[in-house]
Amino acid sequence: MSDAQYAPLTAAVVRTLTDKLYERRKAAALDIEKQVRDLVANNHISQLEKLLCVLKELTIAQNGNTRKGGLIGMAAAAIALGKGIPPFVPQLIEPVLTCFSDTDSRVRYYACESLYNIVKISRSAALALFPQLFDTLWKLSSDVDQNVRSGAELLDRLLKDIVTATPDFEMELVMNLIRAQGYAEVSSSRRFVVSWLNTLLTVPEFNVLVYLPEVLDQLFLILSDEDSAVKDVTKSVLGQFLGLLGKAPEGKTDIRALINILIIHAGPRSSLLARQTALIWMERFVTLFGQKILPNLSHYLTVVLPCIHDSQLKAKDLNKLLMDLVADGSSVGLDPVVEVLLNNIHHERTETRIAVLNWIKHMHTVIPNQIVPYIEKIFSILLELLSDQSDDVLLLDLNLLSDICEEKHHSLDYASLNLDPGTTEKLSNVSPYLIKFCVSLVEMFRSKPNLMNDRAVLIVRRICLLLDPSHIYQALSLILLQEPDVEFVSRMVAMLNSILLTATELFVLRDQLKKLDTKDSISLFSCVYRCWCHQPIALLGLCLLTQNYAHACNLVEELSHIDITVELLLEIDRLVQLIESPILAYIRMDLLNATHHEPLAEVLSALLMLLPQTDAFTTLHKRLQAVPAIKLSKKKAKSRPLVEEIDFDEFINHFQSITLNRQNYIRQKHRDLLNSSTD
């Protein structure tokens, strides 16, 4: 080792500087510091640059102590340069940066110490190398050695202080670096990135908000970190950003870009905290931007609807705010919105299905003209929902279906309903969508017997409460007359007749049929009668309901030509129970009426003869026995001129024809069953 080799440093100084003992290296550093001051004072710049080159060579030497000496020397030179350091910043910092990749943790620690001193002296001049400094600190944040990490944290705080004290600092530079490193998965690296954002947000002069779309995705990913401290600082940063959004000038925020990011992180793949935070942001956006959110309504609903059941996410509150946005006069692009709603209408969660139905009902109420083009598609899917297992969903579905059925101005292709022209003409006074509803209802009950058994009564009663029951019974009767499956029609008629004779929702309809004082009621009676012919006892009940007792006598005679099956006896039993009910009390009272007594008593006596000696037999027998003991009323029944115009002979012929067809159908079914068993 010679003086010429290390000039302008002496070999002795270099030897001491690279000694293994720290105290000796420290003493040599003081000598270097004095020598640099002398060179600067004498303006020996070339000699100073040579000295820095010697120190640089020491930092890349093979010996660890030599590298440590070079680092200490660099710091000493920086201290000596003082305010004159700016021209030499690259020569001082760059050699130190290379030492951070050293395998010796002590070298890396000394590099932290050296760089700290250099940057402390350089201040804003060091920002010329900010990208390199930032990248180095990011790597050091996850260093395996605790001492190195501690040293890096001190340096990091110093650099942040310098940046925040530099109003003209180039924000684009640091944000590009944050964006590049923001997807790290190591907690310490994530903490480093978020801490920088947190620092930048404290400086009012820095417009960090403009970069939010570039870092928002990373911040939400960091919310899923396992380190609670990382999550806490990230929540703080997000809170600050959200606060700035509320103060941002109108039109300066890229709402769509931010919403697209929030939608992703509000989904089920994200952590609970990320989802909660994303939904809070989305709710805040609705408050801040109001109607401007509507173009993104479908994106909102994509997230909100599937999680509306989760109380932790509080999606219900957001859903209500969104619904309030869609008001009279709102312009909404409904293509994607309707698509999202219909995609979720069969969701496994009942709450989601209910929310979808509420949305459709809301839009049908407040923006009916905009929803009209989608009604046919929506209506078909609402019909499918009638088989839903939830009563709440079913009732809401029926409410919505009734809203649509009430509006007669909706156009519909009647050909798709496969109704004959005569039936279509008879239903001209009925809403097209109510006809479609009834056609679909019949098809569903035919194809899904369990649905008919479990839900038919509820569905029919509810829809009769919401709509005109006369239209419903008229449509169902005419549609069932076209049904080839007579057994299915018989079951349907029995069910509809039971509802007609018992349900409070059909009081008005029963009153119309009882009076038969308008052409509409006569037309309805005719439709129902022809359909009820598929169920003799139900037909008899209809005649009793309408006080057509004389015709009922003729029908009773026809019962002698019908096979008296157990099923038919059960129907008679049920009819007797209905006659004893409060709803049909007027029929019992007609036994005391001179006009009605004879035919009515004849009908009831015939039923008595058909019944085995059951409770129903005893009840009916006692009822008939009570009549002769009381003086019959001389008051004549009220005249019903429209009823007198009914061709009851034609009705009997129709009944006989239907009965014959039914018998032939059953015989053929038995033959087919026997043939299949012998094959």
The 10s digit of each residue's pLDDT in 47-62 is 999 999 999 999 998 8
Mean pLDDT of the region 191-198 = 95
Please check whether residue 304 is in contact with residue 293, taking contact to mean a CB–CB distance below 8 angstroms. no
For residue 316, what is the DSSP state? H
Measured CA to CA, the distance from residue 512 to residue 498 in angstroms comes to 17
Give percent of the chain above pLDDT 70: 95
Query: Domain for residue 98, yes or no?
Result: yes
Sequential DSSP letters for 632-673: PB-PPPPP-HHHHTS-HHHHHHHHHHHHHHHHHHHHHHHHHH
Q: What stretches of 226-332 show up as alpha helix (H) in DSSP?
A: 228-247, 255-265, 272-289, 297-304, 315-325
Token look-up 């002398």 returns: 38
Say which residues have a Cβ less than 8 Å from residue 213's Cβ, sequence separation at least 6. Answer: 254, 257, 258, 261
Are 637 and 596 contacting, i.e. CB atoms less than 8 angstroms apart? yes
3-state secondary structure of 593: strand
- Cα torsion 245, 249, 255, 261: sign: negative
Provide the CB-side half-sphere exposure for 261 (13 A, CA). 18
Residue 643's pLDDT band, with cuts at 50, 70 and 90, is confident
pLDDT of residue 550: 92
In 3D space, the residue among 300, 505, 24, 597 whose CA is nearest the CA of residue 12 turns out to be: 24
Structural contact between residues 471 and 544, judged by C-beta atoms closer than 8 angstroms: no
Q: What is the pLDDT of residue 233?
A: 95
CB 350 within 8 A of CB 393: yes
- The token pair at 306 is 């599937």
Question: In this structure, is residue 19 part of a structural domain?
Answer: yes
Q: What is the mean pLDDT of residues 516-543?
A: 93
Tell me, yes or no, whether 606 lies in a domain: no
pLDDT-derived band at 95 (thresholds 50, 70, 90) equals very high
- Paired residues of 593 in beta bridges: 633
Mean pLDDT of 260-278: 94
Cβ-Cβ contacts under 8 Å for 129 (sequence gap 6 or more): 89, 90, 93, 94
Report d(CA 587, CA 591) in Å as an integer.
7
The answer to whether residue 9 is domain-embedded is: yes
Cβ contacts of 478-485, under 8 Å, gap ≥ 24: 478/419, 478/423, 478/426, 478/427, 478/527, 478/531, 479/419, 479/423, 479/438, 479/439, 479/442, 480/442, 480/531, 480/534, 481/423, 481/530, 481/531, 482/419, 482/420, 482/423, 483/442, 483/446, 485/446
Q: Over the chain, what is the mean pLDDT?
A: 89
Q: Would you place residue 182 in the very low, low, confident or very high pLDDT band (cuts 50, 70, 90)?
A: confident
DSSP state of 9: S
With 60 as the cut, is the pLDDT of residue 678 above it? no
Output b/e per residue, 136-145; b: 16+ Cβ within 10 A.
bbbebbbbee
- Find the DSSP H helices in 385-533: 391-406, 421-426, 432-447, 449-466, 469-480, 486-502, 507-515, 519-532
Q: Which whole-number Å values give the CA distances from 458 to 375, 439, 447, 476, 492, in the listed order?
A: 24, 17, 18, 16, 14
**pLDDT per position as a tens digit, 104-158:** 999 999 999 999 999 999 999 999 999 999 999 999 999 999 999 999 999 999 9
| Per-residue model confidence (pLDDT) at position 136 | 95
Distance (Å, rounded) from C-alpha 332 to C-alpha 260? 18
Band of the pLDDT at 411, cuts 50, 70, 90? low
The whole-number pLDDT of residue 263 equals 96
Q: Which residue has the higher pLDDT, 430 or 624?
A: 430
**Phi, psi (5° rounding) for residue 540?**
-60, -40
Q: Which CATH number covers residue 86? A: 1.25.10.10
* DSSP-based three-state secondary structure for 386: helix
Report how far residue 599's alpha carbon sits from residue 637's, in angstroms, rounded to the nearest whole number: 13
Residue 312 lies in a domain: no
Q: What is the pLDDT of residues 534-579, one digit of tens each?
A: 999 999 999 999 999 999 999 988 887 787 888 888 888 999 898 8
Specify if 580 maps to a domain: no
**DSSP codes, 80-137:** HHGGG-GGGHHHHHHHHHHGGG-S-HHHHHHHHHHHHHHHHHHGGGGGGGHHHHHHHH
Residues 6+ away with beta carbon under 8 Å from 86: 122, 125
HSE-CB of 443 using CA atoms within 13 angstroms: 12
pLDDT for position 358: 97
Domain that holds residue 94: 1-166
Q: How would residue 93 be classed by pLDDT, with cut points 50, 70 and 90?
A: very high
Question: Does the pLDDT of residue 655 top 90, yes or no?
Answer: no
pLDDT exceeds cutoff 70 at 387: yes
Q: What is the per-residue pLDDT for 660? A: 83
User: Is the preceding omega at residue 8 within 30 degrees of 0, hence cis?
Assistant: yes
- Number of structural domains (the chain) is 1
pLDDT at 671 over 90: no
Per the model's pLDDT, the better-predicted residue between 325 and 182 turns out to be 325
Is residue 415 included in any domain, yes or no? no
Q: If pLDDT is split at 50, 70 and 90, which confidence band does 101 have?
A: very high
Determine if the pTM surpasses 0.85: no
Question: How many alpha carbons fall within 13 Å on the CB side of residue 205?
Answer: 9
Which three-class secondary structure state does DSSP give residue 547? coil
The confidence score (pLDDT) of residue 9 equals: 82
Q: Using a pLDDT cut of 90, give the percent of the chain over it.
A: 63
| Residue 24 resides in a domain | yes
CB atoms within 10 A of CB 532: 28
Strand partners, 254: none
Q: How far does CA 54 lie from the centroid of its chain?
A: 68
- pLDDT for the residue 499: 96
Residue 631's H or E segment, with its range, is: none
The pLDDT value recorded for residue 392 is 95
